[in-house]
Structure 1
Amino acid sequence: MTAITAGAVMALREKTGLPMMECKKALTESNGDEEKAILWLRENGKVKQLNRTDRTTEFGRVGIYTDGDKGAMVEFKCESAPVTQLEEFISLADDLAKVLAENPSITTAEELLAQPSNVKAGSTLGDLKDDMFNRIREVFNVGRMIRVEGSTGGYSHNSSTVSGVLVEVEGDNAAAVRDVAMHVAAMSPSVLSKDDIDPALVEKERAILKAAAMNEDSSKPENIIDKMVEGRLRNYYAQVALLEQPFVKEPKQTVAQYAKDNGVTIKNFTHWVIGDDAPAAEEGAEG
């Protein structure tokens, strides 16, 4: 009898979306021949449609879990918008985040999916994903993942734009941290503080502002023009740097001041938007 390798089982799983044990059984019954294994699965009602490489997962949700001393965020993707509203899809997205938060050794989607589920005893996260595929006939993928040690808060936005935010802080005020996470989702800052902005971009903006100021009134001394430019640069900082932005719930104070008044210091944030292949914000320096 032909030996069934783990690679062969994984390849069949990728094509059929079925659990590993089902794939291994099919290969065993077919003496390791993949095409015969697929035929065996179809004849036995195990799979109705093969995965196609052109099936894209452009929709999804961001599962978030925080518990005071750690947090995690997982992007869980599917093929259509209606599926993102299913209770089982939402539950699995959140379960993925919780399991990741509780297991610091996990570094890949495969390792995460191999873990036991918190919501269905005796099943792995991968089993639940495969079960949804077999019933709903959509491809599901785990996308980006992040885990943070330390005090965190998060917010998942699931209306016109689907996104998730994880904020790392020093201090203990869950409501305030959630407010900051909601602010990030609404305002989409690029970096944490103005010190994190690429100096080349700052110089480019400074040159543009200086030219504009001189066009307004070329008779003004250069030192006055320079002061005007530095003042206007603050508006630029407020567009891209979280700590410099006016807080959405109280625009008279910055996000940094709001956090300080509520006993927290914002250390980092991560903002993902479903459909954006790269994170919408990079982790910044402490501020």
Structure 2
Amino acid sequence: MAGISAAAVKSLREKTGLPMMECKKALSEAGGDEDGAIRWLRENGAAIASKRSDRVTEFGRFGVYADVEKGVGAMVELKCESASVVQLDDFIALSDDMAKVLAEGPGAATAEELLAQPSTIKPGQTLGEVRDDLFNRVREVFNIGRMIRIDGSAGGYSHNSSTVAGVLIEVEGGDNETAKDVSMHIAAMRPSALTVEELDPKVVENERSILTEAARNEGKPEKIIEKMVEGRLRNFYAESVLLEQPFVKDDKQTVGAYAKSKGMTVKRFVHWSLGEEPSAEG
């Protein structure tokens, strides 16, 4: 390792965030060439990551990028091994960058296709290289889970507090603030469907049967039971259907009414929670 200057080691450390001794070893392996040392570090890290690929990644967050005016939207689930890593600024930035690239780029059908595309936060690097550099610093496996892109006006929200959830909605009209409000409502209230018509008919019939039996047990006459049940079903819809739910920021109006007042039509939504399958989609 003789001949490697302290200044060269310091420069490589500033670029990679890795320990001094590891940077010195990389420079030695690369004959003092900084670019070669960076390649060596990535290749060495990739080899280590490959050996750890079977590790469980049960923590993570959802990167969300959406813009009503630009007409783009995407959500990417980035998973890691421990809860502490989820809070790292670099991990948050990477997940958001993945979502932005997926939304604004050519699209990707697989994680590998997405990782091969250029990062927007690290010029000259691919998303895969940014991920590998982060692995070298924290030595945790990162996996891309679910990902989705909307080719149209979209809004979104990533919730990373008591639960980890991501929401992406496709809309027509409105603005980013309104779309985010609706997305936050979805994360909080977890609707099952966008409209009454999109509810699973079996679920509705089961609820109708339960309400009918309850009315009979109350001794209600058969001739009014049907009307009673339909009335009580409206309460069920208000709990399960996005556009029928009372809006969390103003429960005197429904989400549908709020969106309409802002000139927005919600066309569909995707709500994912970390570790939950399948997702809710309306």
Alignment partner for residue 98 of structure 2, among 96, 99, 105?
Answer: 96
Gaps of at least 5 residues in structure 1 are 1-40
Q: How many equivalent residue pairs? A: 239
In the alignment, which of 182, 196, 199 is matched to residue 197 of structure 1? 199
Contact conserved, 1:71 with 1:148, CA < 8 A, in 2?
yes
Cα displacement string for residues 81-105 of structure 1 (whole angstroms, at most 9, x for unaligned residues): 1101101000100100010011244
RMSD (Å), alpha carbons:
1.9
**Matched AA of 1:263:** G
Partner Cα separation in structure 2 for residue 81 and residue 210 of structure 1 = 47
Q: CA deviation at 1:65?
A: 0.9
Superposed counterparts of 1:3-42, under 5 Å:
none
The residue type equivalent to 1:231 in the other structure is: G
* Equivalent position to 2:85, from 83, 86, 89: 83
Deviation (angstroms), 1:54: 4.1
Partner residue of 1:271? 271
Task: Report which stretch shifted further, 64-73 or 106-115.
Answer: 64-73
Within 2, Cα distance between the matches of 1:105 and 1:185? 25
Question: Of residues 148, 151, 156 in structure 2, which corresponds to 1:149?
Answer: 151
Structure 1 residue 51, shift from structure 2 partner: 3.0
Note closer, same or farther for the CA distance 1:105–1:175 as it changes in structure 2 (3 Å cut).
closer
Instruction: Trace 1:72-221 onto structure 2 (pairs within 5 A).
Output: 72-217=74-219, 220-221=220-221
What is residue 258 of structure 1 aligned with on the other side?
Answer: 258
The aligned counterpart of 1:30 is none
8 Å CA contact 1:64, 1:156 repeated in 2: yes
Q: Tell me how far apart the structure 2 counterparts of residues 49 and 172 of structure 1 sit (CA, whole Å).
A: 44
Query: Per the alignment, do residues 49 and 247 of structure 1 end up closer, same or farther by CA in structure 2, a change over 3 Å counting?
Result: closer
**Code of the aligned partner of 1:247:** F
Contact kept? 1:151, 1:172, Cα under 8 Å? no
Residue aligned with 1:269, SS: strand
Q: Percent identity?
A: 62
Per the alignment, residue 32 of structure 1 pairs with none
Which residue of the partner structure matches residue 60 of structure 2?
Answer: 60
Q: Deviations over 1:87-144 (max 9, x none)?
A: 1000100100010011244211100000111111121100111112122111101111
Q: Once the 2 structures are TM-superposed, how far is the Cα of residue 196 of structure 1 from its aligned partner?
A: 0.7
* 8 Å contact kept, 1:167–1:268: yes
Change in Cα spacing, 1:224 to 1:238, as seen in structure 2 (3 Å) is same
- Aligned mates of 2:198, 2:48 — CA distance in 1: 51
Query: How far is 1:53 from its partner?
Result: 5.1
TM-score (norm. length: structure 1)? 0.79
Measure how far apart 1:45 and its partner are. 6.5
Distance between the aligned counterparts of 1:72 and 1:260, measured in 2? 24
Query: Partner of 1:245 in structure 2?
Result: 245
Tell me, which stretches of 5 or more residues in structure 2 are unaligned? 1-39
8 Å contact from structure 2 (residues 117, 126) kept in 1? yes
In structure 2, C-alpha distance between the alignment counterparts of 1:138 and 1:51, rounded to whole Å: 11
Matched AA of 2:124: G
Q: Contact (CA 8 Å) 2:165, 2:187: kept in 1 or not? A: yes
1:144-170 superposed Cα distances (whole Å, 9 cap, x missing partner): 111111111111111010111111111
Residues 208-244 of structure 1: per-residue CA shift (max 9 Å, x gap): 1011011112xx3322111111111111112221111
1:229 has 2:267 as partner: no
**What TM-score, normalized by structure 2, do the two folds share?**
0.80
Structure 2: how far apart are the matches of 1:112 and 1:203? 42
